[in-house]
Chains A and B, each alone.
Chain A
Amino acid sequence: MSEFITVQVGQCGNQIGGAFWPLALQEHGIATSKPITQQQRSRYNDAFHSFFWSPSDVTGASYKTLHDLESAKVKARAVLIDMEDSVVARFRRGPLRKLFDETLLLTNYPGSGNNWAEGHHTHGSSYESRIVEVIRRAVERCDHLHGFLLMFSVGGGTGSGLGTATLKLLSDYFPDVERFVTCVYPSGHEDVVTAPYNVVLATNILLEYATCVLPADNKSLLDICAYLQNRKESNESAKAVAASSPYEDMNSVIVNMLLNFTSGSRFPGSLNVDMSELSTNMVPYPKLNFLSCGLTPLGFSSSQILPVPKQVEPWARDHQLLKIDPLAGTLLGATLLSRGNVTLSDLRYNVSRLQNKGKFIPWNQDAIKVGLCSVAPTGHPAAHLSLLNSTSMGGFFSHIGGQFDRLYRRKAHIHHYLQVDGFSNSEFVLSRQSLLDCTSHYQHLTTTQNAVLDRLQVV
């Protein structure tokens, strides 16, 4: 079975990780808080090794509680990096504390002061050898490493700066292993003034070094949570859930996406999708690697089981984790991953619906990759995930570029960046330029006509 290493960087990244591990355990029938019914217990224990590592060679079948995991010394395949101690410290105290290997934690006190340059250059260079060492230790425990799942936000300093520095290191040291990045974009109303700088500087690195980027933004996540909350309130049975904190809910939306995303590699199915296939299918040209992801159902693992209709629309605007409308642009590629109780006919039906709705690039009218995984997510009979490579992403890039310009025009705050060793003003210029190039490439693709060259003639 394939294995993944999660790399959680910074406060946000580690919070996503905090939501990730309980849900990942739940997929294998191990409860972290409330007891799990026998029926929910997963039977797919070969897949246990995808996210977890155990020193003794026992299959996951024997693990039923956290205590079992502790006594078997099972560890998560997770690398935790933060320049502030607070979030990682919470892991150290939390119920899952035994799940994380102390030697795979990397923390420090100073923080990065919401400064990308400090995270990327200062911490990036001084921690380089330690990061490589920690990751190598995690890699050595894998037999079939498929990919790294990186999680961080791009608005702050540590996640954005050090996260992208880690990404670079991964591509240097492990060029053959896929690098998937889930990053959270700020919605523009946060208290971080320098966010636009951090966003653009980080995005430039992501374009260059990530296999695929699965972006999310806070605005979309909040909207999704609000929608779920409304639905719950109308439903009297689910009062208890309302008590959970908003960030946790937002993170679990991302986590559900990640679990669906990797399900095809981890579990058996009649149409398997390995992670290595994704970039082949979704990235027609280098640097066009940002994918808009949408989920159906949006809900997290609540006790309430909703019937999943045959007709699903994970590609709809309000199901996207990023505030863009992918179908408004030209689609360069699409992936539809279904898991659970879904037949091939249902899938083909949805494929043809997407084909009617979306405007595909003329030279590849049927650029749809499909996957069927037979294991349903916890608490739902089925789930669908759509990944779309849409030219609408160009609009998103010009939006974050515009926010960057507003600050940069007045040269506001740039002295904080320039005083960092190793950072020069040209990085601002180059990053902005790379975004502009990307936008114009998307623009160019929107207007492409069909092939002008005739097919080869046999004489």
Chain B
Amino acid sequence: MALTTIQFGQCGNQVGHELFSTLAKDIFNPKPGVSSYDNEIYVEKTVTQWFEQDFNMDKLVARSVLVDTENKVVQDLLKKQSSNCHWGYNPKTCALQSGGAGNNWAMGYQKKGPELLESVTEALRIQNEKADRLAGILSIMSSAGGTGSGVGSFIMENMHDEFSKKVFFNALVLPFEEGEVVTQSYNTLLTLAKIWNVSDGTLLLQNDHLHSMLVNLLHCKSVGIGDLNSIIGLKMAGSLQPLQTTSFSSSMSTTDIISHIAPHPSFKYFSVKSSPHTPREVKKFEGGYQWNILSKHMRQMLRINSLNPGSVTIDWELRPPSTAQSVHSLHQFSCSIANLLITRGVGFASTQCTPGKDFREKPLHPCWVPEEGAFLHCHQNRRFNDQDKFAFLLTNNSQLYTPLNTVVEKAWKMFTHKAYMHQYTRFGVLEEEFVDAFVKIESVIKAYKELNGSEVTCI
């Protein structure tokens, strides 16, 4: 099944490029660790999902539409790919303008979006016609600026009706809390509110968190934007690459994954945790972790502070897995709507690891979630990212409200002082629209917040 990607704005395009590079690297993995027959099936599945084969050029062409209001980034990407022999973009599926959207959601949504709509529709048509069977549409964008957030929301709204039968999901990069753009809280708020109606599932990526992962785990001394993007690419590829049916797990398609992880109309967000991330120089020497340690470690990541359920004492994703942790039954875990553990690598079948047992424990889920819906484990024997073992946890849990809460808190402060409002009303986004967005996101936050505790309050 094919998946068409739409990359919006500077961030979306850079992340998208990183995602496709990761996928291409995965396809041409010299040491897959599986039989050549299995490898062939895997590669074929990957290629149909993400790429279209260009036999003339002997190149893979990404099933992607590139949208930006400032052509610099995309021009750069197109230039870069001429030196890249494995894959590339189709220059016909770019919808570009110049001038940018001014970090202003209203400008992107009201002005640039409508201007770009026709060329995006056309590019999307080209891309979709090339696919034999279309599974869905993935949009990648950041919420801070004007293009990803404003144009992205507008295009997604307009595409939604046309593709209502397909899976329609997106990856949203949330800005650094310390600030990249002054109006980022407004832009994020409005984006979240618009996308909520049309998206089947939203993967939230927090720049702050990714930055600390790079510093703590990979010991990066100086972090570039490219480093952040490559982690995002890794997480996305790791969650969406083909899975296989084994004695202990079943295969899932991208459509299945989204419907599993976002099963309820009030809970559509999810995040991806991944482990182990080790610095390149260490990788050579380390034998790697046992599967059951990795599995336990992934569960640790759901732990929260038992005194203050809103906060996390230790972010376990920022620590390497260790053998010494004792998983005490008294620890409190954040309440999850759904979890999906994806393990990629060798030798899982021969271990005694049964992640299902840990993850299906009752207090981990609200009582209305059926046991088989609460947790699934999927596996792929093929080595990923040149590591023997790699685990990903897709989780839709109560913790997700914290970044949203920060955004609303900041946006509300600014809104009550009417700061920057003239920039938005200039493009016809009035106060009512802000109030609507606040109402919507506040209720989402409330729903997520009240999850903790809902495992008890069952009638």
Contacts and interface: CB of A to CB of B under 8 A. Distances in A.
Contacts of B103: 276-277, 280-281, 369
B417 A279 contact: no
Contacts of B418: 285
Contacts of B228: 344
B224 to A, nearest CB: 5
Which of A274, A346, A351, A448 has the most chain B CB within a 10 Å cutoff?
A274
Nearest to A343: B222
Which of A276, A343, A346 has the most chain B CB within a 10 Å cutoff?
A276
Contacts of A343: 222-224
Contact of A345 (B73, B145, B222, B414): B222
Contacts of B221: 345
Interface in B46-88: 70, 72-73, 75-76
Nearest to A365: B410
Contacts of A333: 182
A284 to B, nearest CB: 4
Contacts of A281: 103, 181-183
B388 interface: no
Interface string B219-234: 0111111101000000
A162 B70 CA distance: 34
B248 interface: no
Nearest to A284: B419
A207 interface: no
Interface residues of A, number: 50
A369 B416 contact: no
- Classify chain B: how many residues form its interface, as a range: 35 or more
A399 interface: no
Contacts of A277: 100, 102-104, 145-146, 181
Interface stretch (A71-79, A265-273, A423-431): A265-273
B420 A284 contact: yes
Interface string B1-32: 00000000010001000000000000000000
Interface string B85-129: 000000000000011111110010000000000000000000000
Contacts of B433: none
Contact of B409 (A361, A368, A455): A455
B412 A1 contact: no
A45 B101 CA distance: 24
Given A280-B103, A364-B419, A355 B178 contact: yes
B161 interface: no
A274 to B, nearest CB: 3
A451 B220 CA distance: 39
A308 interface: no
Nearest to A362: B413
A280 B146 contact: yes
A344 B181 contact: no
A280 B183 contact: yes
Given A271-B225, A281-B181, A458 B442 contact: yes
A451 B418 CA distance: 11
A366 B417 contact: no
A355 B409 CA distance: 19
B446 interface: yes
A283 interface: yes
Contacts of A367: 179, 182
Contacts of B246: none
Nearest to A3: B98
A412 to B, nearest CB: 38
A457 B145 CA distance: 28
A276 B178 contact: no
Nearest to A351: B178
A40 to B, nearest CB: 23
Given A345-B223, A366-B179, A450 B438 contact: no
Nearest to A363: B413
A369 B176 CA distance: 11
A137 B307 CA distance: 69
Which of B228, B416, B417 has the most chain A CB within a 10 Å cutoff?
B417
Interface of B: 10, 14, 70, 72-73, 75-76, 98-104, 107, 145-146, 176-183, 211, 220-226, 228, 408-410, 412-414, 416-420, 422-423, 438-439, 442-443, 446
